Amino acid sequence: MRNVRLDIAYDGTDYAGWQIQKNANSIESELRNAILKNNIELFKLTGSGRTDAGVHANGQTANILINSTIPDDRIKFALNNKLPDAIRVLHSEEVDLNFSARYSALAKYYSYHVNLDKIANPIMRNYSWNFPYSIDKDRLDYITHYLSGRHDFYNFMSTGSKVKTTTREIYFIKPKFNNNDLVINYFGNGFLYNMVRILTGTILEYSAGKLSQDRIDNIFKSKNRKLAGITAPAKGLFLEKVFYNFNEIEDFWQRFLDIPKSFQLK
């Protein structure tokens, strides 16, 4: 038996998310079908985490326990030959049997794409959220810093999630503008169900003056989901990368925030 890590990209528009579901097509089901069509004996398939219907990925990770003579670096080509065009395995590599795409993960990086034009560009309708309101950049800077760090993010979780703790640490939330397009980047040690989408809705509503300062001040003090903002649509969300190595995390942090190499992640 071999354990092979897969790095996967997909357009989630026409899929019911990562996880297999009854009466709905998913990324996981397409991947399983491609494995079986290549006569690969599959013992187990594990994803780094589920993405919702309509969510996209540039760097989803999975590992497959298999019995096959196909070289690990050729597995990506075999699977891509059987996968639909909306899904591609970018990298395949044999790893230690103890590696788990889910339980070995140390951090994740998501991006959320927003268009601020008064009239949305229809070409981007499946890949960004049109939010046609003026953004106060001082309020945007304040709220992204306020929500970063280690907190109990109970108010930023949709119902239906079963977790032992709702405390997570967001290393940084970094907004970047390109004219009227805004990308909000999230880097943290883990995220709750719909957490990034609720954070995005909160950030945008506060930055547009639609949420009061009083609500924000009490957002971590009371377990009341109504204090946070709306849940942003799935279509603007991308899973960019999953991290399994502390050196890789530190290098990414430094490069993304232009931090000197003398910085040490603690």
Q: Catalytic residue numbers?
A: 52
Copy the structure tokens of residue 127.
């890949």
Q: If residue 51 lies in a helix (H) or strand (E), which one and from where to where?
A: none
Contact 130, 70 (CB under 8 A): no
The residues pairing with 93 across neighbouring beta strands, listed in sequence order, are 5
Residue 195 CA to residue 244 CA, distance in Å, equals 21
Q: If residue 137 lies in a helix (H) or strand (E), which one and from where to where?
A: helix 137-147
Q: 242 in the Ramachandran plot: left (φ > 0), alpha (ψ -120 to 50) or beta?
A: beta
